[in-house]
A and B are shown apart, each in its own frame.
Chain A
């Protein structure tokens, strides 16, 4: 049987969109509401952020939402509890994004087992190096059928990209430029050249581009070269705590509309 994530990338003829949000933000119990709302939109993959006290790779928006979520009382046991009915709510692939320390402290095997039980498809841990993945994480990921997502940047060497491609990840997370999350997307010859260069490598792992993508033109552009776009900070900024579901749907419509 194909992994849920592999099915998504079989659908050739459409711009693919991953939406990231921080679990427990704006309010502690909003996690399910947001997943339900996203399920009714043209979103392809759902990425749920585990709030962390020290999110190194994240810019101000996700630092703030993480901080708020922790203040709200978010924690891992609660998150897995909130995701208990995940597979009754949505068929879309779901990835958890967090930092190594979340997983290590929880216990890598226990964490992976919980993910598998609730139906999470894979993990994105931006501070996990390849070496540590192979040594400490891969055996559990394999045991519980989880896909890992590695990040590459415009500075990642071809050799390293090839090595990552061999690791059979869910997709390759292409960081759009040298920056933390939530910056602005400016189209530039360098960016296009980067997208083209990766496209030309004909990797077997699908690629999605994230960091700084916030509107339709950027979504369209990266889909011309790669397998999709990841939007996080812009989505979080658009959330309206008072009209949560509607603000989710409005944002996705906007991302998808050529106006």
Chain B
């Protein structure tokens, strides 16, 4: 068997990970690193978390055999319906998990960054539920593109802070959240929404999202009489839904892991978020990973129609999946994603989030055998993207 995919004691997956953080954040990160596994694995914590996932989030989410989609692409395609979660995406799994961790650590305030607003809404929701003060940092440009989610967060009682630095998108919202944490370290926990950031964040978020593949295994057993599909397909921005969908299959070599990145206007168009195609090794938001950068190490502004995939880096786990070739990476343009989103709506009556539509568009890039069992992680629903669908037209 090839090298096992796992995180080491310093927070590295192979060459990627670690904790490149200003000394100012050291105490907070160290506290988290020393306690996250103990907290997460305590039976009463697990019980609380699982109960909320069941009764509040609505888990397990269905594993749905999409017959027409299967027919079209010549394989048995299941959709893991993360879009049916409360708040409309997989983000809530991690938000509730981390809010519970924050409570255990005695923190009163929560901060978060958000791109499309899904993680912001999920965090605002978890904070409303658990009675914590919530501030969400969001790029000024994203606040304009995702107005309904800004209002959702406000209705839920969260404060939304515009990030005005840099490119005014997700990367800058993350910078601003980290700066706020530097200035307010005592009573605040930072809920990072993806499998990025300094160790232990990538591992912690992956573990909270791993419920996705845990359920997949049980559900496939029911449907197919086996745990393992031939393919798991997921879109990758930072990579949290993919990390959750892959987790229990990382070391199951018969399962092909397909990571779909946003190519924007095309991988070589100069307007892309295809990190593994255009990126190189570097440090972003506290971890060593692949990122898009200039010759001089300046972080490049990414582009994708999908605010949730519009990120210049990728989680260290995915960087490792890329480098070790355990993951198979596909690139999908804005146009291909929008068409795939409309296609699923017409074929199956499900309007997917534009992020998830990228995963769907990758179906046409894979040469399936008729007997292949495929699970596509439908990470979110398209309600938030209605304006994007309207602007795109062609439906």
The answer to whether A126 touches B22 (Cβ under 8 A) is yes
The answer to whether A127 touches B296 (Cβ under 8 A) is no
Partner of A178, one of B10, B185, B299: B185
The answer to whether B296 touches A75 (Cβ under 8 A) is yes
Partner of B182, one of A75, A76, A179: A179
Q: A104 — which chain B residues lie within 8 A by C-beta?
A: 281-283, 288, 297
B183 at the interface (CB under 8 A from A): yes
Q: B182 — which chain A residues lie within 8 A by C-beta?
A: 56-57, 178-180
A99 to B286, CA, bound (A): 11
Q: A151 — which chain B residues lie within 8 A by C-beta?
A: 22-24
Q: B280 — which chain A residues lie within 8 A by C-beta?
A: 105
A151 to B282, CA, bound (A): 21
The answer to whether B293 touches A127 (Cβ under 8 A) is no
Q: A56 — which chain B residues lie within 8 A by C-beta?
A: 21-22, 175, 178-179, 182, 285
The answer to whether B18 touches A132 (Cβ under 8 A) is yes
The answer to whether A70 touches B165 (Cβ under 8 A) is no
The answer to whether B21 touches A106 (Cβ under 8 A) is no
B19 at the interface (CB under 8 A from A): yes
Partner of B282, one of A75, A105, A129: A105
The residue of chain A having its C-beta at the shortest distance from the C-beta of B171 within the complex is A54
A99 to B295, CA, bound (A): 15
The answer to whether A106 touches B297 (Cβ under 8 A) is yes
A180 to B185, CA, bound (A): 12
A105-B282, A178-B182 known; A70+B21 contact, CB < 8 A: no
A188 at the interface (CB under 8 A from B): no
Q: B298 — which chain A residues lie within 8 A by C-beta?
A: 52-53, 70
Which residues in window 136-180 of A have CB below 8 A to B? 150-153, 155-156, 160, 175, 178-180
A63 at the interface (CB under 8 A from B): yes
Partner of A150, one of B23, B186, B282, B284: B23
Q: B281 — which chain A residues lie within 8 A by C-beta?
A: 104
A52-B298, A101-B293 known; A156+B283 contact, CB < 8 A: no
Q: A179 — which chain B residues lie within 8 A by C-beta?
A: 24, 182-183
The answer to whether A101 touches B10 (Cβ under 8 A) is no
The answer to whether B20 touches A54 (Cβ under 8 A) is no
B226 at the interface (CB under 8 A from A): no
The answer to whether B24 touches A57 (Cβ under 8 A) is yes
Which residues in window 86-130 of A have CB below 8 A to B? 99-106, 126-129
A1 at the interface (CB under 8 A from B): no
Partner of A156, one of B18, B20, B26, B293: B26
The residue of chain B having its C-beta at the shortest distance from the C-beta of A131 within the complex is B10
A94 to B286, CA, bound (A): 27
A 62-81 binary contact with B (CB < 8 Å = 1; else 0):
01000100100001110000
Which residues in window 293-310 of B have CB below 8 A to A? 293, 295-299
The residue of chain B having its C-beta at the shortest distance from the C-beta of A105 within the complex is B297
* Least distance between A129 CB and chain B CB atoms (Å): 6
The answer to whether B165 touches A100 (Cβ under 8 A) is no
A76-B296, A106-B296, A175-B24 known; A54+B10 contact, CB < 8 A: no
Q: A155 — which chain B residues lie within 8 A by C-beta?
A: 24, 26-27, 185
A70 to B255, CA, bound (A): 45
A191 to B284, CA, bound (A): 32
The answer to whether A54 touches B27 (Cβ under 8 A) is no
A and B contact pairs by CB, cutoff 8 A, 15 listed: A53-B298, A54-B171, A56-B22, A56-B179, A101-B283, A101-B284, A102-B297, A104-B283, A104-B297, A129-B18, A129-B21, A131-B10, A155-B27, A156-B23, A175-B24
List the 9 closest A-B pairs by CB distance, nearest first: A105-B297, A57-B22, A151-B23, A53-B298, A75-B296, A101-B283, A155-B27, A53-B299, A127-B20
| Seed contacts A105-B296, A105-B297, A152-B23; 19 additional CB < 8 Å A-B pairs | A53-B166, A54-B299, A67-B165, A75-B295, A101-B282, A101-B284, A101-B293, A104-B288, A127-B22, A129-B21, A131-B18, A151-B24, A153-B24, A155-B24, A156-B23, A175-B23, A178-B183, A180-B182, A180-B183
- A residues neighboring B (CB under 8 Å): 52-54, 56-57, 59, 63, 67, 70, 75-77, 99-106, 126-129, 131-132, 150-153, 155-156, 160, 175, 178-180, 183
